[in-house]
Amino acid sequence: MSREYRIGLLVPSSNTTVEPEFYRALPNDVTVHCARMFLQQINADSIQRTADDVERESRGLASADVDVVVLGATAPSFINGLGYDREMCMRIEQACGKPAVTTSSGLIDALSEMGIKRISLGSAYPAAINEVCANFLSANGLDIVAMDGLGIEDNLIVGRLSAETAYEMGRSIDRPESEAIVLACTNWRSLAVVERIERDLDKPVLSTTQVSIWAALRRIGYSGNISGYGRLLAEHVAPATNVPVLPSP
């Protein structure tokens, strides 16, 4: 029998974009299996409360014998600042005994893999959450040369936005000194326009769904590259260093 990989994906309950983008980009021998954490509004209190569901939903995904659990949510993995993404990974691993990655840790690791330090940041977030995101990235050693957000708090509305909004944002925040464009929010349709922006600007573009996929594939040791969704997936998917899986609680 051929090897089939399974990704367990933790999704904010009102997110309607990250699952279709995962399905579209993943190769045929990798499947995705989802669980939901309650979230409706993109504000600090609501984002904090999503963590209440993490352990329970992770255990449910582990019962499907997934190879990795992905916290596929950007703000819930950076909301408490430096190190919170790694803390969430540990909580998931301790709860379910499976390897874990988060969107935010995937973004930091992907930028490091590509040798990128100076970025332009665009998001769908309200200004307060965009600022928290920028502070998290800065605390991880990145230089934010420009940033902007769409200012949307209702997460369902974000999921209904056209990918053209991400394309326009990517173009508008570009600066000559920026080494890459980052498009943050896994409920924002951006994966489909990553390569288009890269061609226009001649620099890497990282979306938070794209880096979530990349981090999951690296964590399970998947070595095939994926075309059509930017340089990161086309050129940088390779087995990660083996990390021991924590025993089931």
77-87 tens-digit pLDDT: 999 999 999 99
Per the CB < 8 A criterion, the answer to whether 118 and 145 are in contact is yes
Quick check: 1 pLDDT over 60? no
Instruction: Decide: residue 246, CB within 10 A, 0-12 exposed, 13-18 middle, 19+ buried.
Output: middle
Of the candidates 134, 146, 101, 143, the one whose C-alpha atom is nearest the C-alpha of residue 8 is 101
Both tokens of 187, joined, read 């409920």
- CA dihedral sign, ordered 58, 100, 3, 194: positive
Residue 126 has phi, psi (to 5 degrees) of: -65, 160
Domains, the chain: 5-106+210-228 (3.40.50.12500), 107-207 (3.40.50.1860)
Per the CB < 8 A criterion, the answer to whether 44 and 76 are in contact is no
Write down the pTM of the prediction: 0.93
Per the CB < 8 A criterion, the answer to whether 44 and 79 are in contact is yes
The SS3 call for residue 192 is helix
Both tokens of 145, joined, read 């040369």
> What integer is the mean pLDDT of 59-64?
97
Quick check: 90 pLDDT over 80? yes
162-209 tens-digit pLDDT: 999 999 999 999 999 999 999 999 999 999 999 999 999 999 999 999
* CA gap 140, 108 in Å, rounded: 7
